Amino acid sequence: MWRSRVVLAALASLSLTVGAAQAAGAAGSEAAAPAAAAGSRAVGLPPVVSHVPTSEKVVFITIDDGWVHDPAVAQTLVEQRVPASLFLLPGATSYDTQYFTQLVAQGRAVNVENHTVNHPDLTTLDAAGKDAEVCGAGEQVAATFGREPKLLRPPYGAVNDDVRLAAKACGVKALITWTHDFTTWSETPATPQLQAGDIVLLHFTPTLGADLKRALDAAKAAGLKPAALMPHLKSAGLVQ
Predicted confidence band at 37 (pLDDT cuts at 50, 70, 90)? Answer: very low
The predicted-structure confidence for 138-192, as pLDDT tens digits, reads as follows 999 999 999 999 999 999 999 999 999 999 999 999 999 999 999 999 999 999 9
pLDDT at 143: 97
CA 67 to chain centre: 17
pLDDT confidence band for 43 (50 / 70 / 90) = confident
Q: What is the pLDDT of residues 112-144, one digit of tens each?
A: 999 999 999 999 999 999 999 999 999 999 999
Q: Is 200 left (phi over 0), alpha (psi -120 to 50) or beta?
A: beta
- Each residue's pLDDT tens digit, 83-102: 999 999 999 999 899 999 99
Helices (H) and strands (E) in the chain, counts: 9, 9
Tell me: pLDDT of 18 over 50.
no
Cβ 23 vs Cβ 39: under 8 Å = yes
Please state the pTM of the whole predicted model. Answer: 0.84
CA distances from 173 to 47, 53, 103, 146 (A): 8, 17, 24, 18
Provide the pLDDT for residue 107: 85
